[in-house]
Chain A
Amino acid sequence: METHVRDLLPAFMDDALSETDRKKVEAHLALCPDCRRELEELETVKAEISRFYHSVDVPGIQFEKAVLAKIMPQEKLAMHYRVFVWFFAVCCAASVLATYPVMRKPFYVGMNIFQALFNILSSGFHIALSILSALPALSAGIMVVIAVILAVCIWILFGLLTMKPVKE
């Protein structure tokens, strides 16, 4: 008798064999009661598994409700956010237009004040830079501080990576 074809039986059941293999299996099955029994058993198992899981009760209407409940709040939130952004933009535009004739002069005054403040800040920044650059060994100090920070970060990271997970 030819070699048994057990390894080919699952694919044979599913009609997933090549034409040559299928004919080989058919020819063997015609002669081999062991392989026929094996095939029957595999088919029974397949049928029982399918029957079992298809007989399981599917969740009722509350399932759809639960899914929608998970979707709806976020949808509503997104919609409210969009509405709010549009409303805010329209209000800003309307208020600018409505107050423009009255606020024209104060607006320009305000702009001058902002410009002066900006100049002060910019000058302060330049002064601070000049003072810092005049300090001796500044770059070496900065390098040391950066090295210390990096070393601490690597130490923390290593600690996290080697940490044992908490048992559930």
Chain B
Amino acid sequence: MVEQDLTQLIRQAKAGDTDAFAVLVARFKGEVFRHAYAMTGDRMEAEDIAQEAFVKAWYALDKLEHAYAFASWMSKIVSHLCYDRLKKLRKKVDLQAEIEEEPLRRPTSNIDNANLRFDIRSAMEKLSPEHRAAIVLRDIQGYSYEEIADILNIPLGTVKSRINTARNILKKELSRG
């Protein structure tokens, strides 16, 4: 979508044009849904969160200052919703303590493709919501470290540390097979 079109659509949506907003939903639903799905690991939950995110966005459109920031603004909304939902569902898995007790050891074998086909979702579930959010924004959504720091409202050093930890946990889980 051209930047100009996006600006125009957001302006129309701000003025109450639901058709323009529907076009925005169609354009961004993939990113929003994938984000929620990677965070929750549940398709129904992800769809529900994604819908809620767009409804929240509709009512908060006036707060969006720059059209080009729409995607990262949506990511902020989805991140908050996912945290809230995970809290509610008590699916939070905090591996931090375990990591501190048992430092990651270098795997002795390579990861082969067969191992990698095993359930990535279960490996993602081993991450705490905070680590999962960082890796989702980086590896699935493709945001830079600075953008992630802004979206999650955390220092840049914390982003690096969370991505580092998350990648090591994922590698360890996927190597385990």
A residues within 8 Å of B by Cβ?
A: 6-7, 10-11, 14, 16, 34, 37-38, 41-42, 44-46, 48-50, 52-54, 56, 58-59, 61, 63-64, 66-68, 70-72, 75
Contact = CB atoms under 8 A, between A and B. Distances in A.
11 contacts: A10-B163, A11-B164, A14-B138, A41-B107, A48-B116, A49-B139, A50-B139, A50-B140, A63-B33, A67-B22, A67-B51
Contacts of B30: 58
A14 B156 CA distance: 14
Given A16-B160, A52-B120, A61-B26, 14 more contacts: A10-B160, A11-B163, A16-B145, A44-B116, A48-B174, A49-B140, A50-B140, A53-B38, A54-B140, A58-B29, A58-B34, A59-B29, A64-B29, A71-B21
B54 interface: yes
Interface in B91-131: 106-107, 110-111, 116, 120, 124
Nearest to A15: B144
B111 to A, nearest CB: 5
A38 B144 CA distance: 22
Interface of B: 16, 18, 21-22, 25-26, 29-30, 33-34, 37-38, 47, 50-51, 54-55, 58, 106-107, 110-111, 116, 120, 124, 135, 138-140, 144-145, 160, 163-164, 167-168, 170-171, 174-175
B18 A68 contact: yes
Contact of A14 (B120, B163, B171): B163
**Residue in A49, A52, A70 whose Cβ sees the most chain B Cβ within 10 Å:** A49
Contact of A45 (B26, B29, B138, B171): B171
Q: Which 10 A-B pairs have the closest CB atoms?
A: A58-B30, A10-B164, A67-B54, A10-B167, A52-B120, A53-B140, A64-B25, A48-B116, A16-B145, A70-B55
Nearest to A49: B139
Contacts of B120: 48-49, 52
A45 B169 CA distance: 11
Contacts of A61: 26
B111 A63 contact: no
B34 A56 contact: yes
Nearest to A41: B111
A59 B30 CA distance: 8
B106 A71 contact: no
A18 to B, nearest CB: 11
A63 B26 CA distance: 8
A121 B18 CA distance: 54
